[in-house]
Amino acid sequence: MKTKFNIYITLSLVLVLSASCSDSFLEDKKNYGSYDDTFYQTQERVQNYVDNQYYDFYNAYKSPTASVVGSYTDTYTKMTEELGGTQDLINPGKTFFRSDDASAYYGAKIGTGIVNSPYNRIRECNNLLEDIDVKGANLDKTFRDQAKGQMYYMRAMQYYDLMRTYGPVPLATTVQNAAADNPAIQLPRAKVSEVVDQIVKDLDMAATLLPKEWPGAYGRFTRGAALAQKSRVLLTYASPLFNKNWDGSNERWDAALKAGLAAEAQLTQDGYGLYGSSAKQWEAMFLIDNSFCSEAITVQLCGSGITSTAINNSWEKATRLVSQGGVSGGTPAPKEMIDLFPMADGKRPTAANGYNDFTFFVNRDPRFYRTFAFSGVKWGYKENVNPVLWTYRWLDASNKIGYADGNTSGSSPAFVRKMTNTTASNATNYQFSGTDIFEYRYAELLLNIAECYAALGQTGNTLAYLGRIRNRVGIPSANNYGIGTLADKYAAIEAVLYERRVELAYEGKRYWDVQRWMLYDNETLAGVTGGTVSKLGLAPINGTQRTGNYLQYKNTAPISSDPISAAARAAVVVDPDAANFQTQLTALATFYNNNFIRTALITPLDNFSGLPVKIKFNPNYYIMGLNTTALTQNPWLLQTIGWNDISGGAGTLNYQE
């Protein structure tokens, strides 16, 4: 256990809630801001309030592939090349445009009970911001300022995820008392520019109020984190989804660059930076738990407890195979991800650059071996530090199937291992993992800056920042770390987006890059500017599919016993930490060529009722419409373009500015 007493572990603190979840505290929260003056008379009660906000915002954040404040689902990650499996919004057999089909994230009307929804979370932030300096004037000023800084930060993050989901949304920055006949609270949908201005204002305020660190309370939001989030917000605002002049005006890119550089300077001053100088350290970085890591700008602290109050990381359980004590088939990597990572010299994985997609593990980017596991590679856990993953199948003469080591769900020759812990215990099938989750890394901030430089046509600065990312993991510096020469700003943008796919793989970032650059297709809604896929020289994601394969023994064999002996397998084990790792990989490649073939899955990774399907993401999905509940309870709100309102009429609100 990493915790003491009755606690929750949340995004920015090990939260002591023995008091904050007391009956009296919840009674106070029932009335949504109707607190009497005594509530603010003690620092303990106000701290409990702040801690409860952390919990409401981040208690559902249990996997690095999850995103969106409050709900934290991995649905968005599953709509990219990172994970296979058809989701509704990429299913060609389904089309959504009615308000009944729109996202329910916006939330329902506040009722008589506590509802953990976006605008209720905002209301709770507003309440403290309005009252603490008045009703809590007796409290220490530094304490009050830091409490306010955390509320400004959280309010900004909630509006950011509302903006990413819905575009223009109403801005409520004061506590409002619900009344059906009060026009003052019938707020219209603010322009995206107005939402961004409010978010930036909140983050700037947070940066002035928050400390550079929290001695004894690692993980709370800091001034550097507020500035880094500002960089992320302004990068989104400068991107094509919200910026129809992204290719003709530098104003927003300049603002995003300025914010990124300011965040970099502040974080560097405060002791942050890229962690380590090797791929081994890059891997180990993710396992620095409940203590400072220079790479982690914001981090979800998790606990290994089995109590109802502990937040466990679900990632370990999802990624481990049956042979390792897991309960599922692990997290198979689609071929598109296996074929994505650069070669060891940083060049793209093409046949001309020496890439063989059957022996895919030879001569790859050092991050590849820390992101994926494959048959023949060492991948340990607490109860066995030296196990080797083997997942292949074989057929007998009548096509009955045998499986290596009981791994019956080997739908890919490679599995995701990134962010897994070799000291994790399988005693409870990894159910109670306490490995922390990095929500925002210093590397992402550097990539944000690189992207701004790219969009501004400053290719030299783009290469410099990409070089810092690659140098850290040991890619040679020759030929600009294998990137080569960037012909123009479009090639530079594409290079940054490519690097983000590799460096930030399985960290919940890919969908948002696809969304803000509108990469599913060149198709757009009437009145919305797009065409970025062609400008960046990319192929549309629409029409593609995530591909799985079996690794299969070449010859038929009785299913009763593995046709490959234990001694033969032991002779070709590869260990990414071994001094002769490259020699080991060469031997394993020979072993693959001598023993295996790659065959198609019986049921494709992307299927509908067992039949193969290809991704189809419609252009109105980039920005969600308001659902029927929201429109019914707020009839003055306009519906988003591409979505129908509750009466079936076409939405008119264009989110792009």
Residue-wise pLDDT tens digits, 196-254: 999 999 999 999 999 999 998 888 999 999 999 999 999 999 999 999 999 999 999 99
Distances (CA, A) of 609 to 75, 94, 561, 618: 19, 13, 33, 21
Q: Are strands 549-553 and 596-600 parallel, antiparallel or unpaired?
A: antiparallel
Nearest by Cα to 655 from 610, 622, 613, 612: 622
User: Mapping DSSP to helix (H, G, I), strand (E, B) and coil, where does residue 391 land?
Assistant: coil
What amino acid occupies position 221?
Answer: F
CA-based diameter of the chain, in Å?
83
Chain centre to alpha carbon of residue 480: 28
* Contact (CB, 8 A) for 523 and 619: yes
Burial level of 635, CB count in 10 A (0-12/13-18/19+)? exposed
Nearest by Cα to 243 from 530, 512, 524: 530
Range(s) of the domain holding residue 593: 315-433+549-600
* Contact (CB, 8 A) for 437 and 299: yes
Query: Is 397 among the domain residues?
Result: yes
Distances (CA, A) of 381 to 42, 385, 402, 577: 46, 5, 25, 15
Nearest by Cα to 466 from 450, 442, 482, 455: 450
Q: Is the pLDDT of residue 7 over 50?
A: no
Q: Give the pLDDT mean for 485-505.
A: 98
pLDDT at 309: 63
Query: Is 387 among the domain residues?
Result: yes
User: Mapping DSSP to helix (H, G, I), strand (E, B) and coil, where does residue 280 land?
Assistant: helix
The percent of residues in the chain predicted with pLDDT above 70, rounded, is 92
Nearest by Cα to 2 from 10, 14, 12, 11: 14
* Contact (CB, 8 A) for 650 and 99: no
Name the pLDDT band for 180 (thresholds 50, 70, 90): low
DSSP 40: G
pLDDT at 216: 86
Query: Six-digit token pair at 31?
Result: 């009335």
* Contact (CB, 8 A) for 77 and 510: yes
Nearest by Cα to 107 from 31, 28, 182, 172: 172
pLDDT at 27: 41
- Give me the number of domains the chain comprises: 1
Query: Is 479 among the domain residues?
Result: no
Query: Six-digit token pair at 281?
Result: 């350290």
Least trusted range by pLDDT, from 8-17, 32-41, 170-179: 8-17
Distances (CA, A) of 499 to 83, 231, 340, 342: 18, 18, 10, 9
pLDDT at 15: 32
Query: Is 331 among the domain residues?
Result: yes
Q: Is the pLDDT of residue 630 over 50?
A: yes
What amino acid occupies position 27?
Answer: E
Q: CA-to-CA distance for 497 and 491, rounded, in angstroms?
A: 10
Nearest by Cα to 303 from 18, 584, 1, 575: 1
DSSP 175: -
Residue pLDDT, tens place only, 424-475: 999 888 988 999 999 999 999 999 999 999 999 999 999 999 999 999 999 9
Its sign, for the CA torsion 185, 190, 196, 197, is negative
pLDDT at 429: 86
* Contact (CB, 8 A) for 353 and 457: no
pLDDT at 304: 81
Q: Give the pLDDT mean for 141-153.
A: 98
Scan for tokens 């048959």, then name that residue: 375
Chain centre to alpha carbon of residue 267: 21
Residue pLDDT, tens place only, 367-377: 999 999 999 99
Instruction: Show Cβ contacts of residue 449 under 8 Å, excluding neighbours closer than 6 positions.
Output: 231, 257, 260, 261, 264, 465
Query: Is 340 among the domain residues?
Result: yes
Residue pLDDT, tens place only, 54-72: 999 999 999 999 999 999 9
pLDDT at 8: 32
Q: CA-to-CA distance for 499 and 490, rounded, in angstroms?
A: 14
> What is the model's pTM?
0.94
Burial level of 382, CB count in 10 A (0-12/13-18/19+)? middle
Name the pLDDT band for 185 (thresholds 50, 70, 90): confident
* Sequential DSSP letters for 577-630: TSTTHHHHHHHHHHHHHHHEEEEE-SS-SSEETTEE------GGGSSPPPPHHH
Query: Is 415 among the domain residues?
Result: yes
Burial level of 397, CB count in 10 A (0-12/13-18/19+)? exposed
* Contact (CB, 8 A) for 447 and 503: yes
- Burial pattern 252-287, b for ≥16 Cβ within 10 A else e, equals bbebbbebbbbbbebbeebebebbbeebbbbbebbe
Q: CA-to-CA distance for 533 and 177, rounded, in angstroms?
A: 46
Pick the more confident residue, 27 or 489: 489
Q: CA-to-CA distance for 494 and 513, rounded, in angstroms?
A: 11
Q: Give the pLDDT mean for 155-176.
A: 96
Least trusted range by pLDDT, from 31-45, 487-501, 566-580, 607-621: 31-45
* Contact (CB, 8 A) for 606 and 616: no
Residue pLDDT, tens place only, 310-339: 789 999 999 999 999 988 889 999 999 999
pLDDT at 35: 60
Pick the more confident residue, 428 or 484: 484
Q: Is the pLDDT of residue 141 over 50?
A: yes
Q: Is the pLDDT of residue 109 over 70?
A: no
Query: Six-digit token pair at 173?
Result: 């920055």
* Sequential DSSP letters for 512-581: HHHHHHT-S-S---TT----HHHHTTPPPSTT-----EEEEESS---TTS-SS-HHHHHTT-B-TTSTTH
Pick the more confident residue, 349 or 113: 349
Which conformational region is residue 56 in: left (phi greater than 0), alpha (psi within -120 to 50 degrees), or beta? alpha
Q: CA-to-CA distance for 490 and 496, rounded, in angstroms?
A: 10
Name the pLDDT band for 179 (thresholds 50, 70, 90): low
Query: Is 654 among the domain residues?
Result: no
Query: Is 368 among the domain residues?
Result: yes
Scan for tokens 């058809």, then name that residue: 86
Neighbours of 39 (CB within 10 A): 20
pLDDT at 77: 96
Mean pLDDT of the chain: 92
* Contact (CB, 8 A) for 117 and 108: yes
Q: CA-to-CA distance for 556 and 398, rounded, in angstroms?
A: 9
Name the pLDDT band for 13 (thresholds 50, 70, 90): very low
Q: CA-to-CA distance for 23 and 7, rounded, in angstroms?
A: 16
pLDDT at 2: 31
Q: Is the pLDDT of residue 112 over 70?
A: no
